[in-house]
Amino acid sequence: MVWAAWSQAAETAGPVVDSQAWQARFEAWVETALVQDQLDEAAANLPEFDRATIHRLLNELVMKRVLSQRDEPSLEVDVVPPVRARGLVGVSLTAARHYASGDVDEALRLLEDPALEADSGAAHLRAQLLDERSRYAHPSKKIETIRAYRYALSLAQDSPMARRARLRVGQIFLDLRFFPEAEASLHGLLHDPPTTSAGIAAHISYAEAAYLNDQTDAAIETIVKLDPAALAPDAKRWAVQRMADCLFQLGRFPGA
């Protein structure tokens, strides 16, 4: 029944191939066969090493190679919301104008003013600009961005910018592959209806975090709440693919 709800979307989104679950199992089978062949050869040519040591070293090499192929972003769908700058006044508004004109450095310089320390609008804008700068930066920079968002949330928790901040904290955890933290951060955003752009972004991000955190049922429950007709093409492809991954993991295949 679950799969039937997405069958029509699957036809328009393209075939479901190379699912992560299937790929992981296939790679594990191939790696096992290769390691066994290499192990037998190594044991014959290196009699001074015991079989267990050779096996351990080969497995370490295999793991390094597999991990080296897992550097892609956790979520390939673009669900990062645009910068929001509502209700700003004074220096914060001036900083927002500098950002809009492309001068991010000057915007951040203005927002570093100690007089703005308790200004929630300035704190939220600063966190968003730091976020944009650290999108492809070293993980340590992303941790700093999470701190900036959390500080902004400590000043104001009920605003459109606050909802965006919570979403981005969860998405950054997802980028950092901190899947339990991402799932926990995003779960509270599921009350937003999955018909708005913010609600769709929250549901997609949470479903991805749940899937990668081995909470397959939670991922399925979240995906089926999405309306395929309301999704952009890349989001629809992601939903169909991820649903297939989840059902495969549970042994519930399409048509079964």
User: How confident is the model over 203-219, as pLDDT tens digits?
Assistant: 999 999 999 999 999 99
Average pLDDT over all residues of the chain: 78
Could you tell me if 74 and 107 are in contact, meaning their C-beta atoms sit under 8 angstroms apart? Answer: no
Query: Does residue 107 lie in a domain region?
Result: yes
Q: Which residue has the tokens 């939220």?
A: 124
C-alpha dist (Å) from residue 217 to 16, 132, 207, 243: 19, 33, 10, 10
Residue 109 pLDDT: 94
| Within a domain: 78 | no
Do 159 and 241 share a domain, yes or no?
no
pLDDT at 159: 76
| Sequence-ordered list of residues with C-beta below 8 angstroms from that of 175, at least 6 positions apart, any chain | 73, 74, 75, 142
Same domain, 93 and 171: yes
* Last-in-domain residue among 140, 155, 176: 176
In this structure, the answer to whether residues 120 and 101 fall within a common structural domain is yes
Report H helices in the chain.
Answer: 4-13, 20-45, 51-68, 90-100, 104-111, 120-134, 139-155, 160-175, 179-187, 197-212, 216-223, 233-249
Q: Is 50 exceeded by the pLDDT of residue 113?
A: yes
Residue 141 lies in a domain: yes
Give the mean model confidence (pLDDT) for residues 148-157: 90
Do 222 and 249 lie in one domain? The reply is yes
Q: Which residue has the higher pLDDT, 247 or 64?
A: 247
Domain end marker among 68, 96, 128:
68
For helices 179-187 and 197-212, give the axis angle rounded to 10 degrees. 150
129 belongs to a structural domain: yes
Q: Determine, yes or no, domain membership for 143.
A: yes
58 and 96 part of one domain: no
**Token duo for residue 53:** 């040591």
Is residue 148 domain-shared with residue 224, that is, in the same domain?
A: no
What domain count does the chain have? 3
- What is the reported pLDDT for 21? 54
Residues 106, 108, 111, 112, Cα dihedral to 10°: -110
> Rounded to an integer, what is the distance from CA 32 to the centroid of its chain?
29
Amino acid present at 145? T
Res. 53 pLDDT band, cuts 50 70 90: low
> What CATH number is attached to the domain comprising 159?
1.25.40.10
Task: Choose one of 176, 208, 239: the last residue of a domain.
Answer: 176
pLDDT of residue 15: 46
Residues 90 and 171 in one domain: yes
Which pTM does this prediction carry?
0.69
Rg of the chain taking only CA atoms, in angstroms? 23
Eight-class DSSP state of 156: -
Q: Is residue 14 part of a domain?
A: no
Taking the C-alpha atoms of residue 145 and residue 135, their distance in angstroms, rounded to an integer, is: 10
Same domain, 157 and 187: no
Quick check: 28 pLDDT over 70? no
The token duo for 131 is 């976020």
Handedness of CA 114, 117, 122, 127 (dihedral sign): positive
On whether residue 127 sits in a domain, the answer given is yes
Q: Which residue range is the domain that position 32 belongs to?
A: 19-68
9 is a domain residue: no
> Are 23 and 55 within one domain?
yes
Residues 118 and 149 in one domain: yes
Residues 90, 93, 98, 101, Cα dihedral to 10°: -140
**Residue 136 is encoded by which pair of tokens?**
């492809």
Please check whether residues 189 and 172 belong to one and the same domain.
no
Query: 117 and 137: one domain?
Result: yes
d(CA 163, CA 78): 18
Residue 220 has a pLDDT of 92
